[in-house]
Amino acid sequence: MKSSRFLLLLLGVLLLIPSSEQMVQCRYTKNLTNRADGGDEHCLFYYLLNREFEDSGSVHTLSTFPPKSDEMKITIENVLVKYVELVKGSSYQFNVFGDIYLNWKDERLKWDKKGEFENYDHLYIFNSSAIWAPHVIDHTLCADGGCSYSVDDIDIYDDGTVYARIQFKYQASCAVDYRKFPEEDDSCCIFFTAFEPNVLKTKFEIEGKAKEKLNRPVYAQKVYEKEERLSEVAQEHSPWVVVERSISVSHLGGLETLEVLQVCVKAEKQMSTVRVALLFPVTLATYVMLASPLFGDLRTQIFVKLFTLHVQTLCFLYLCTITPLNGFLGVRPRIYIFYEIVFTISFCSILVTLVVMALSRVKRNVPPSHRLFLSAKLINRVVCCIEPERTDAYHRFVEEETNPEARPTSEVNDSVIRRGAELDYTQDWRHIYLALNNMFSALMFSVFLFMTFLEFF
């Protein structure tokens, strides 16, 4: 029993010997024993740290102060949007989780690839606070603690170029465009700045793609399911989908020395079912209304148009039920303009039909123009495919005798009666009124067809 314990102790001592020898071999840690690095970094790092200590007289200079330069250039290689979620209690404000891949130049981290470090072309830093890194953050959002920020994966090359990855979580500043309601657009941006002491100007340069297409759902806040364990989190997506990420550099307040890295995501609310429910019934009903001359006489057309107006009103009331309580910020959505035009067309169509019906009841003793009457007959029968009744047919009566006094009394009385019947041109005018009603419906049908094409496509 004692022999086995002795063997285990001996094995443990043998395993610790290489690491102890490694620490002894790194002679650059002799003056830096008071650092709280724990000896986890590579010996090359302690060489750079010891060299900076000899130059500046402080062991904290390399990790606290930026390199001495009038202009600090930060190169943005890429910005990766990993996860987007809705802010709790909001329907359009987003929390954005992502990574910023960047690099900068620090002359203090150069080393000569000769001698003991000739085989090292780069150095990976385990402790992100061991060297200075630019504070690329959104200062306004982080003021109230509503963000998270960390620098990871620091890799240094022999020419002093430092590569790193910034993990961030911010509540973006969002602005909704309600013109495409209920499938509106949402633009959310985060504004990164880098204020550094002893640096007059910080300059951002973008190397990666300025715009990138995405297809990423926006999740709702994480909730715990009662039926599942607390470790199981249910991810519920919202109607929003992130479709684009863009990066740009601007100047804050017009100052050339103060640049801002602007990272924006564009999201679209994809609610095609609701959009179809709002547009398809009212569109179909409006087409039926404008084609009402094919259903028969004017009275039937009025009933069809009133029923269509009823359907349009129901669809509009449903649209009002899904309108945001805080309104549209002074913007008129396209779908509301569509409904306004639909109601205007319906009102004008009903008004024209009522006027035509009223004019058709007025007795006319003056004949219309023969060409106008024939054109109306052509429109009603050929163009609008409406076959008039036989009693509505047009007949031209020609007098066989120019002297009615030479005929018998009975024939004269019959002629007077026939002349009285010939003086009633009401039915001829009705053909013209009906043609006007049909032409107005055809014109509105063409206008609405073009408007529907613009709305759907």
Q: What is the pLDDT of residues 166-219, one digit of tens each?
A: 888 888 888 888 888 888 888 988 888 887 777 777 888 888 788 888 888 888
Verify that 143 and 161 share a domain, yes or no. yes
The H or E element that residue 79 is part of is strand 71-86
Verify that 259 and 296 share a domain, yes or no. no
Confidence check: pLDDT of 261 > 80: yes
Long-range contacts of 383-388 (CB under 8 A, 24+ apart): 383/438, 383/442, 384/293, 384/294, 384/435, 384/438, 384/442, 385/294, 386/293, 386/294, 386/434, 386/438, 388/431
Verify that 192 and 283 share a domain, yes or no. no
Q: pLDDT band for position 232 (50/70/90)?
A: very low
Res 151: pLDDT: 85
Q: Please provide the average confidence, as pLDDT, over all residues in the chain.
A: 76
Verify that 215 and 247 share a domain, yes or no. yes
The tokens for 452 are 């529907």
Out of 214, 241, 270, pick the residue that ends a domain. 270
Question: Is residue 441, in this structure, part of any structural domain at all?
Answer: yes
Verify that 245 and 366 share a domain, yes or no. no
Distances (CA, A) of 95 to 147, 174, 220, 324, 346: 9, 10, 10, 21, 45
Confidence check: pLDDT of 227 > 80: no
Quick count: other Cβ atoms within 10 Å of Cβ 169?
16
pLDDT in tens, 132-142: 888 887 766 65
Question: Is residue 439, in this structure, part of any structural domain at all?
Answer: yes
What contacts 133, CB < 8 A, 6 or more positions away? 151, 154, 162, 164
Quick count: other Cβ atoms within 10 Å of Cβ 190?
22
Question: Is residue 23, in this structure, part of any structural domain at all?
Answer: no
Question: Is residue 62, in this structure, part of any structural domain at all?
Answer: yes
Res 265: pLDDT: 92
Question: Is residue 7, in this structure, part of any structural domain at all?
Answer: no
Res 141: pLDDT: 61
Tokens 């840690």 sit at which residue? 29
Verify that 255 and 288 share a domain, yes or no. no
Out of 249, 270, 291, pick the residue that ends a domain. 270
Mean pLDDT of all residues in 227-237: 55
pTM, two decimals, is 0.69
Confidence check: pLDDT of 147 > 80: no
Verify that 157 and 298 share a domain, yes or no. no
Q: pLDDT band for position 53 (50/70/90)?
A: confident
What contacts 393, CB < 8 A, 6 or more positions away? none
Stronger pLDDT, 138 or 253, i.e. the higher one: 138
pLDDT in tens, 409-445: 444 444 344 444 456 677 778 778 888 888 888 888 8
Verify that 168 and 299 share a domain, yes or no. no
Query: 388 is in which domain, residue-wise?
Result: 274-456
Q: pLDDT band for position 8 (50/70/90)?
A: very low
- The CATH number of the domain holding residue 247 is 2.70.170.10
Verify that 118 and 178 share a domain, yes or no. yes
pLDDT in tens, 93-112: 888 888 999 998 888 888 88
Distance between CA atoms of residues 285 and 269, nearest Å: 27
Q: pLDDT band for position 36 (50/70/90)?
A: low
Verify that 246 and 106 share a domain, yes or no. yes
Res 114: pLDDT: 76
Distance between CA atoms of residues 229 and 227, nearest Å: 7
pLDDT in tens, 350-388: 998 888 888 877 777 777 777 877 777 777 776 555 545
Question: Is residue 158, in this structure, part of any structural domain at all?
Answer: yes
Verify that 348 and 438 share a domain, yes or no. yes
Q: Which of 34, 67, 68 is nearest to 50 (CA)?
A: 34
Out of 270, 297, 328, pick the residue that ends a domain. 270
Contact predicate 346/288, CB 8 Å:
no
Question: Is residue 255, in this structure, part of any structural domain at all?
Answer: yes
Tell me the percentage of the chain whose pLDDT exceeds 90: 4
Verify that 67 and 94 share a domain, yes or no. yes
Res 40: pLDDT: 56
In 87-137, the DSSP E strands lie at 94-105, 122-125
Question: Is residue 4, in this structure, part of any structural domain at all?
Answer: no
- Specify the number of domains making up the chain: 2
